[in-house]
Chains A and B, each alone.
Chain A
Amino acid sequence: MKNRKWLGLFTLLMGILLLAACSYGADDSTQGAKGDGEPAAEGEPKKGGKVSIPIVADPTFNPWHPNAYAESNVVNRVLFSGLTQTGENLEPIPDLAEEWETSEDELEWTFHLRDDVLWHDGEQFTADDVAFTFNEIVLNEELGANNTSYFGQLKEVQVVDDYTVKFIMESPVAALPAYLSFNTEIIPEHIFAGQDPWDLTSFNKENPVGTGAFKLKSYTSGQNVVLERNEDFYGDIALLDEVEYKVLADANTHVAQLLSGELSIFALDDLSAIDRIEGAENVTVEARETPRFFWIIANQEVEKYQDVRVRQAILHSIDRQNIIDTVLKGYGTIADAGIAPALKDYYTDDVTRYDYDPERAKELLAEAGWEDTDGDGVVDKDGEPFTIDFEIGLQGDLEAISQMVQQYLVKTGFDVNLNAMEWNSMIQEVVVNRDYEMSLNWWRYPADPDLSAYMHSRSVAGNNIPAYQNPELDKLLDAGAQTSDVEERKEIYVDAQKLMAEELPYIFLWYPQEAQVRATNLKGVPNLAFGDALHHIHKWYIEE
């Protein structure tokens, strides 16, 4: 009798374990069926409710702080405002600046500021705040502030009157309004004047004062940041009551909380979970275009990669569509140049294309003098086999992608040593020491086609990591930076893309799309990447 009771308990426990393992899969299929039939109609915007957004670590409430990474950007974008912001076509639109114009020689930009902006502590926002942010923080080299590379051509910011500032440039930068919308929010002079901006913990970690649509309500380290509606906001007052950022280090937890309704919106990095999410009934997935491109770089300091035919052969060797379909689950389009389709005004696909063609790759290698003379499956030249040291950082799907690339390259006849290392080590080796042959990663850039920072020969010490130098490309990039006329720039950047595709300063892979996941009842989110959609968070609302 007693034994039977124990047996019952045992069976029950086993049952629970089995349920945990199986019920998930079963649930999935029924939810998928329901989710597909959901009507897409949106109701009237309504006030109230809150959204929850995951961040992977504690944020720093200062957009310029060297420790402000992605988790800080998504908070700072809502707390603070920039002079411009990203509009629905990725063009810069007014924010703190109502309008702007540039001088004939494009060396002086005048920004007319709003006169109705209050800081969260009630102080008036003026031109002095803008001048302070740029002159004292951005241009102070000792501070090493974030994102200063966009302002390398900025000489100074002059205050014309309380609500007008002038940006004085060393050389023309047509992308300036776009740069001013990208993690370059204005911080208050009346708090920072005379302080060490990085040591001011009372602001950076405790009590930030911004101008954005939401202000800080509470912050618990390791737990969450809660923002509440700023009733004195200069634009349309936000509809949501609160925005909560939850500190959750683990990406699996993000997915779990999204499915259980505890998180509202984020950009999904690890696409392996996408099938589960697409099947869920209370969650919507949207593909969003972003100004990003994935690349392979071949160090131009190493002789064998200086031959463009070798770079072209590498690109012909890789079945990129297959990688997009398998690893990226279809969220991306093949790239043969660097300007992403997200930049609708400038993108063109009328460039040299590199289809998956291992035979063509072998021909190109043979033209360049690399042939498999000893029959060991590896091409060689002057008795030297073509070995590639391929160093990548472990993050997201980079490893999975690199393994596939390795296999494709081996098939063509390269001897590839893949060395996947911890992210910080990779930065040290590849970015800081430039001690590498080949690497794979991606760039995310402000919504402007000016890619000088990544491939102009003057950026070799900066983010031109492959150290690619081509006077012809430099000329085009300079020309594009010197005019603000969209039509004119379009012509220039179409030529630049053709040249990029021919010369492959980067071995371009694809333009990834962002898989934006959000609770279905969250409405009013514009058709933008998650980071950019945050600029419009005052329009978001919860549908009952």
Chain B
Amino acid sequence: MLRFLMNRLGQSIILLLIVTIITFFLINLAPGGPSSTMRMDATAEERQAMVEKLGLDEPVMVRYIEWIGNAFQGDLGTSFNSGEPVTQRILERLPYTIELTIFTILISVILGIFLGVLSAIKRGKAQDHVINFFSVVGLSVPAFWLGLMLILLFSINLGWLPSSGVGSRGEEFSLWGYVSHLILPVLILTTTVLPNIVRFTRSSMLEVISQNYIRTARAKGAKESIVLYVHALRNALIPIITIIGMLIPRLLSGAVITEAIFGWTGIGTLIIEAARGRDYPLVMGVTVVITIVVVVCNLLVDLLYSRVDPRVKNV
């Protein structure tokens, strides 16, 4: 087990290195830099002063080595645009994205497994078709379009929900103020992952149900609900856990669009801001954090896998 963890740690560090190298060179070699995000009428001297101030007159290679050296010591540098430490800016924003992600996963998993099982046991019936239909719709409809449509309906026409923002944090807490701001973004994010969970649960369940031991369970007279939820679902869950782990990166990228539409001040809006403003240290910082989240999620999935399925041993 320890050897497994060490192994994975080593792999993760190499992965992280590759990701940072690619990102660093991509953003630095892209045409235009922090000095060209200045106002159009900034003079050549103003631009040069900025380049020098930010140390961008050094070669890219030198800057990368300097950056990675600092990063390994836990220093992600200072944001070009705000002058604040990158770590502080990320820590400010990360909780909002985590909040969004947790609610989305909770709802998607509970609802997804329920609908998936329902769809499997009612295979070919109306319920199955309805669930399938909405899965396909959910998968096909672009999040930004659906987001805008929901804003039109619930915020502008009906006036029930706020069209954006994270609510009045810091002021007096109101449950409705909190929940109302969450509803639409969570709904949009849910549409990007829920259909996957539903479809995976369905196919996984169908496979398990046709196994011999299920027939045996039924034959020995076990109640149908016990057969489904104890014998079948437990075994069907194994691939589902994998898919949930794989959906987390997808959720994070979905958050970029969702957060932008709903003015949700998470890591997604931060990276848009950073990329737009050519804030290199911030782009790098967010990339590192997201990569770590993805790596950790995958590791957790592997560990969980061996818990659910004793046949899988992590050695």
Of B33-41, B172-180, B214-222, the one contacting chain A is B33-41
Asked, given contacts A3-B126, A58-B273, whether A462 binds B83 with beta carbons under 8 Å apart, the answer is no
Cβ contact within 8 Å between B126 and A6: yes
Does A146 lie within 8 Å of B273, measured CB to CB? no
Partner of B43, one of A142, A220, A224, A463: A463
* B169 in the interface (beta carbon within 8 A): yes
In the complex, the answer to whether A57 meets B148 with C-beta atoms within 8 Å is: no
Given contacts A198-B83, A249-B269, contact A20 B149 (CB under 8 A): yes
**Chain B 93-108 interface residues, beta-carbon cutoff 8 Å to A:** 93
Interface residues of B in 132-180 (CB under 8 A from A): 133-134, 148-153, 155-157, 159, 162-166, 169-170
> Which of A37-45, A116-124, A199-207, A488-496 contacts its partner?
A199-207
Could you tell me the distance between the alpha carbons of A257 and B39 in the complex, rounded to whole angstroms?
27
Q: Which residues on the B side are within 8 Å of A272 (C-beta)?
A: none
Q: A202-219: which residues lie under 8 A (CB-CB) from chain B?
A: 204-205, 218
From residue B285, how far is it (CB to closest CB) to chain A in Å?
Answer: 14
Of the residues A6, A20, A145, contact of B153 by C-beta under 8 Å: A20
> In the complex, how many angstroms separate the beta carbon of A60 from the nearest chain B beta carbon?
7
Query: Would you call A422 and B32 a contact (CB within 8 A)?
Result: yes
Among the stretches B1-9, B203-211, B224-232, B258-266, the one at the interface with A is B258-266
**How far is it, in angstroms, between the C-alpha of A66 and the C-alpha of B278 when the chains are bound?**
13
A461 interface contact, C-beta 8 A? yes
How far, in angstroms, from A333 to B151 measured CA to CA in the complex? 35
Residues of A415-454 whose CB lies within 8 A of B: 421-429, 431-432, 441, 443, 453
CB proximity of A520 to chain B, nearest CB, Å:
16
Q: Is B31 an interface residue (CB 8 A)?
A: yes
Neighbour of B126 across the interface among A7, A19, A145, A248, CB < 8 A: A7
Determine if A222 and B42 form an interchain contact, defined as CB atoms under 8 angstroms apart. Answer: no
Query: Chain A contacts of B93 at CB under 8 A?
Result: 221-222
The closest CB in chain B to the CB of A223 belongs to B265
CB-defined contacts of B89 to chain A, threshold 8 Å: 221
Is the CB–CB distance between A461 and B83 below 8 Å?
no
A201 contacts across to B, CB distance below 8 A: 82-84
Interface flags for A330-345 (1: CB within 8 Å of B; 0: not) read: 0000000000000000
Decide: A23 and B269 in contact? CB cutoff 8 A: no
A16 to B160, CA, bound (A): 14
Within 8 A of B (CB), among A138-153: 141-146, 148-149
Chain A CB within 8 A of B243 CB:
no
Q: Indicate if B92 sits at the interface (CB-CB under 8 A).
A: yes
Contact call A253/B32, Cβ cutoff below 8 A: no
Question: Assuming A9-B130, A248-B263, A427-B32, is B40 touching A441 (CB within 8 A)?
Answer: yes
Contact between B156 and A260, CB atoms less than 8 A apart: yes
> Do B164 and A248 have beta carbons less than 8 Å apart?
yes
A222-B268 Cα distance, complex, nearest whole Å = 11
29 A-B contacts, Cβ less than 8 Å apart? A3-B126, A16-B153, A58-B273, A66-B38, A66-B49, A67-B81, A145-B46, A198-B83, A201-B82, A201-B84, A205-B83, A223-B166, A247-B263, A256-B148, A256-B163, A257-B163, A423-B32, A423-B37, A424-B31, A424-B36, A424-B37, A426-B32, A428-B36, A429-B31, A432-B47, A441-B40, A461-B43, A461-B44, A462-B44
The chain A residues found within 8 Å of chain B, CB to CB, are 3, 6-7, 9-10, 13, 16, 19-21, 23-24, 27, 57-58, 60, 66-67, 69, 141-146, 148-149, 198-199, 201, 204-205, 218, 220-224, 246-250, 252-253, 256-257, 259-260, 262, 421-429, 431-432, 441, 443, 453, 461-463
B binding-site residues for A, Cβ under 8 Å: 30-33, 35-50, 53, 80-84, 89, 92-93, 125-127, 130, 133-134, 148-153, 155-157, 159, 162-166, 169-170, 260-263, 265, 269-270, 272-273, 276-278
